[in-house]
Amino acid sequence: MTAKSAKHSRRSKPETAPTAAKASAPWIAESYHRHLQLAVFVIGFFLCGFISIHLGQDNNWDLRNYHYYNPFAFLTGRLDFDFAPAQLQSYLNPLLDLPFYLGITYLPPKLLGFLMGGIHGLNIGLVFATAFLLFRTLSPNLRLGLSIVCAALGSYAPIFIGELGASQNDTLISLFALTALYLFLKALADHDSLSAPEARNRIIIASLIFGMGVGLKLTLLIYAVGIAAAFLIVETSWSGRARVLLLWCGAFLIGFLITNGFWMAKLYHHFQNPLFPFYNQIFQSPWADPVSYGDNRYLAETFLQGLIRPFEIAFDNHYTQTQNMARDSRYAVIYGLLIISCLYWFAQRFLIKTDTKNSSRKSGKTLAFSKPELFLLVFFIVSYFIWQYKFSV
């Protein structure tokens, strides 16, 4: 090697080192993010598991009515002998209550309470992961801090805490919805379009998971409408919307049939109504009255009452007393922030259109959403209004 070539060789070493470090930086960051999110999942599992033990043994009315009976009847073939011993709930899909039933049968009470509480605590990890994804453009410290705040606020709720380790399935079925929602948002964040070929696998997996959740608990179906509405808003072309909706509907239906197809067939064979006894005004089963059997006790009686319902939930009143004093001010805060955001957005749009000569306003600060943020916003608003129209509890 000549002196000249050796000189260039020595110079090349410090030039390639920063390049290699720069190339490896995304991999290091991605690995750090994965470990960080895994840590939150683990913390949520153990924290909620121990809280569940501290809260004591579950003894709610639903457990005594049907959460224990339904899987027992399913495993012992009682459908041919018993008629509505647990009232309308006798005919709900028993698969969702099967893990709790088996745990009661074979596990010590405290171990079951810890495991069920830990599983419910996985919601904290999903909320954190979703927030961490949405805040990806912020500085690392701010991103981490806001994600922790979102996870804490998302879990600090009377219903969530009260149901830790219990047999109610709201905090169990939410795992399906939050997982699917995260996958949709992740596909948008990575590919900017759900109709992109690279996003197809995530769409299929998310839709399958969500369909399986709806099959286990039919009330989750209201959020399917919110997801479909979000598809229509974030996709910019009708061909893209059609592709995404076809993937969504197909995979959703397969997931739904995986967890509920057998049970619907069984109900139809016995009662000529696959959703028996619900929606019997449509199926006309002779085994029940031809009515829907919906619970309308908590629905808003007027339009104004519907508008102020988030604020009703925040205060101690008849509405919250009938639901175990479940006061929750988070809905009122979100409601107010959404109103302020909408007013700000419309004001900025108006200012831009009426003062086009002012370049600072024309290209100035407006309330803009990324596609994942827009997807989540549309999903939340549409799902909330459908929830209030159908259940409101």
Question: Tell me: the pLDDT tens digits for 287-310?
Answer: 988 888 877 777 878 888 888 888
- For the chain, what is the mean pLDDT? 84
Give the residue-averaged pLDDT of 31-43.
87
> For a pLDDT cut of 90, what percent of the chain falls above it?
44
Q: Which two tokens mark 310? A: 């988030």
Cα–Cα distance list, 88 to 62, 104, 277, 322 (Å) = 12, 23, 7, 20
pLDDT at 320 over 80: no
In angstroms, the CA 69 to CA 232 distance is 42
Cα–Cα distance list, 119 to 45, 99, 174, 176 (Å) = 6, 11, 11, 12
Predicted local confidence at residue 23, as pLDDT? 42
Give alpha helix (H) positions in the chain.
3-55, 61-62, 69-76, 98-106, 109-134, 140-155, 158-162, 170-191, 200-216, 222-234, 238-271, 280-283, 303-307, 309-314, 318-321, 330-354, 359-362, 371-390
Given a contact cutoff of 8 angstroms between Cβ atoms, the answer to whether 132 and 183 are in contact is no
Of residues 381 and 328, the one with the higher pLDDT is 381
pLDDT digits (tens, 9 = 90+) for 189-246: 888 778 777 888 899 999 999 999 999 999 999 999 999 999 999 888 888 888 899 9
User: How much is the pTM?
Assistant: 0.85
In angstroms, the CA 371 to CA 225 distance is 18
Predicted local confidence at residue 29, as pLDDT? 64
Q: Which two tokens mark 247? A: 């993937």
Cα–Cα distance list, 114 to 57, 121, 196, 225 (Å) = 11, 10, 42, 34
Give the residue-averaged pLDDT of 31-57.
90
> For a pLDDT cut of 70, what percent of the chain falls above it?
85
Cα–Cα distance list, 181 to 115, 185, 227 (Å) = 24, 6, 8
Burial (CB < 10 A; 0-12, 13-18, 19+), residue 249, is middle
Predicted local confidence at residue 219, as pLDDT? 92
Give the residue-averaged pLDDT of 359-371.
58
pLDDT digits (tens, 9 = 90+) for 99-129: 999 999 999 999 999 999 999 999 999 999 9
Predicted local confidence at residue 317, as pLDDT? 63
Predicted local confidence at residue 237, as pLDDT? 84
pLDDT at 363 over 50: no
| Choice among 116-130, 138-152, 252-266 with the minimum mean pLDDT | 138-152
pLDDT at 67 over 80: yes
pLDDT digits (tens, 9 = 90+) for 279-289: 899 998 999 88
Cα-based torsion angle of the residue sequence 159, 207, 254, 273 in order, rounded to the nearest 10 degrees? 40
